[in-house]
C-alpha cells in the first residue's frame, strides 16, 4: 500500500463478530476463558486489548514497522525505551530536546545510574565521536523542539554502527510524522511519537507510541509495557486510530500553512529570525529535503527583534486565532513560549547555550484558512 492508503487500511481488518468497519471500543478489563490459560487471544487488558491492538497495528503500518505499542503518554513511551538499559549505561542525545524528555533524562533516570551526554547532532561525526564503551542508546529528535534543527538519521545510524553495531538508535519523529519521514527506513531501531500531537491530531487525547522492526526488540518492549503498565486505554486508542485515518490530508495542509507562515514571518520587520527547515538558508536544509520527502511540517519557531520577554508576552497575549497553549499538532493553531512553558524545566544556562531565549516563540500551525492565520499574526505583531 502507498502511505495515504496505509493511514486508512494499514494493519486493519473488519471486526469479526459484527463486521464493524471501525474497531469497537472494547471497554473491558478482563476476558472469559474456557479453561485456565485457554482464551481467544486476550486475558487482561494491561497485556492487550482489541481496540489497542488495532491501533498498534496501524502504528506499525504507517512507520513500515512490524510491531507498534501504544502508551499512556509520549513520556511513558520514552520511559519504556530507557528501561531497556542498565545502571552505568550511557545515552547520547541531541542538545536541543523537548523539555519533558530532558527532564526525564536528567532528573529521573540519571539518579538511577544512567549517564547522558548531549551533543549537537547536526553533524553525524559529533555523535560517533561521543561514543564510549558504555554507550547503549542514541536518542535523536529531528526536527528538534523548539529550534527546528535537523539530524541526518541515515548518516548517524551508519556512523554509529561502524563504531558498535549493538548500540540502539531511537528517533523521536513527533514533529515530522511518518507522512514526512520514516526513520525505520533510514536505519533507526525504534521510532517514538507523542501521539498526543499529529497522530491523534485533534487535541483530545494524551498518548505515546513506539514502532520497531526487530522481533527481539519488540518482545523486550512488550514485556516492559506489560510489566510497567503504562498502556493506552481503549477510548484513547479509538480516538487515535480515527486521527491516523486523516493524517495524510491534515499534514498536507499543515505543510502548506506552515510554509506560508514561515515566509510571512521572515519578511516581517518585527521578526528577528525564523527557524524553519524549508528555507534554503537553513543550515540543514539539504538534509531536511532529503529525508522529509513531502514537505517540512507545520512547526515554525521565531525570535522577535525586540528580544525582551515583555515583547514576547505582548505578542502571545494578543493572538486571536492562534491559541496560547501547551502541546502541538492539532487541527487548531497554537502558540507557545518555550522558556516559560514546554522548556521551563531546562536550566537557563543550558537553554541559552543553544539559543532558547526569552523572545523565542514556537508556532504549531493548524489547518485553518491561511488568510486568517496571517491576519492574526500581523495584528499581534503590530500591537
For 358-378, the pLDDT digits (tens) are 999 999 999 999 999 999 999
* Distance in angstroms (rounded) separating the CA atoms of residues 260 and 244: 24
Q: Do β-strands 135-141 and 168-172 pair in parallel, antiparallel, or remain unpaired?
A: parallel
Residue 108 is predicted with a pLDDT of: 97
Residues with pLDDT less than 50, the chain: none
Helix/strand/coil for 292: coil
Residue 313 is predicted with a pLDDT of: 97
DSSP code for 66: S
Residue 269 is predicted with a pLDDT of: 97
Do residues 346 and 295 touch, judged by C-beta distance below 8 A?
no
The structure's pTM equals 0.97
Do residues 361 and 314 touch, judged by C-beta distance below 8 A?
no
pLDDT digits (tens, 9 = 90+) for 172-182: 999 999 999 99
Residue 17 is predicted with a pLDDT of: 85
Catalytic residue set: 46, 98, 172, 197
Residue 227 is predicted with a pLDDT of: 98
Nearest to 138 by CA among 68, 69, 85: 85
Amino acid at each position: 500500500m502507498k502511505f495515504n492508503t496505509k493511514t486508512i487500511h494499514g494493519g486493519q481488518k473488519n471486526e469479526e463478530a459484527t463486521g464493524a468497519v471501525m474497531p469497537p471500543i472494547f471497554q473491558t478489563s478482563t476476558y472469559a476463558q474456557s479453561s485456565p490459560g485457554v482464551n481467544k487471544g486476550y486475558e487482561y487488558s494491561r497485556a492487550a486489548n482489541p481496540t489497542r491492538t488495532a491501533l498498534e497495528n496501524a502504528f506499525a503500518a504507517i512507520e513500515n514497522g512490524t510491531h507498534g505499542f501504544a502508551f499512556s503518554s509520549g513520556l511513558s513511551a520514552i520511559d519504556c525505551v530507557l528501561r531497556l538499559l542498565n545502571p552505568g549505561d550511557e545515552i547520547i542525545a541531541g542538545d536541543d530536546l523537548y523539555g519533558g524528555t530532558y527532564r526525564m533524562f536528567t532528573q529521573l533516570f540519571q539518579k538511577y545510574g544512567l549517564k547522558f551526554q548531549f551533543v549537537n547532532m547536526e553533524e553525524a561525526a559529533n555523535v560517533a565521536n561521543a561514543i564510549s564503551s558504555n554507550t547503549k542508546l542514541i536518542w535523536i529528535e529531528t526536527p528538534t523542539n523548539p529550534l527546528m534543527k535537523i539530524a541526518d538519521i541515515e548518516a548517524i545510524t551508519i556512523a554509529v554502527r561502524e563504531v558498535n553495531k549493538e548500540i540502539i538508535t531511537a528517533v523521536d519523529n513527533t514533529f515530522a510524522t511518518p507522512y514526512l519521514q520514516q526513520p525505520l527506513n533510514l536505519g533507526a531501531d525504534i521510532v517514538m511519537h507523542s501521539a498526543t500531537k499529529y497522530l491523534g491530531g485533534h487535541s483530545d487525547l494524551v498518548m505515546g507510541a513506539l514502532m520497531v522492526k526487530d522481533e527481539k526488540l519488540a518482545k523486550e518492549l512488550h514485556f516492559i509495557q506489560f510489566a510497567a503498565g503504562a498502556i493506552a486505554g481503549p477510548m484513547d486508542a479509538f480516538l487515535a486510530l480515527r486521527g491516523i485515518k486523516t493524517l495524510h490530508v491534515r499534514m498536507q495542509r499543515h505543510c502548506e500553512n506552515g510554509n506560508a507562515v514561515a515566509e510571512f514571518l521572515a519578511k516581517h520587520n518585527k521578526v528577528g529570525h525564523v527557524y524553519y527547515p524549508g528555507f534554503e538558508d537553513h543550515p540543514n536544509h539539504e538534509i531536511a529535503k532529503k529525508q522529509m520527502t513531502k514537505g517540512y511540517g507545520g512547526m515554525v519557531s521565531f525570535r522577535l527583534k525586540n528580544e525582551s520577554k515583555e515583547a514576547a508576552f505582548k505578542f502571545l497575549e494578543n493572538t486571536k486565532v492562534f491559541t496560547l497553549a501547551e502541546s502541538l499538532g492539532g487541527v487548531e493553531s497554537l502558540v507557545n513560549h518555550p522558556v516559560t512553558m514546554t522548556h521551563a524545566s531546562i536550566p537557563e544556562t543550558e537553554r541559552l547555550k543553544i539559543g532558547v531565549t526569552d523572545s523565542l516563540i514556537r508556532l504549531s500551525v493548524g489547518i485553518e484558512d491561511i488568510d486568517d492565520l496571517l491576519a492574526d499574526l500581523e495584528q499581534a505583531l503590530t500591537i
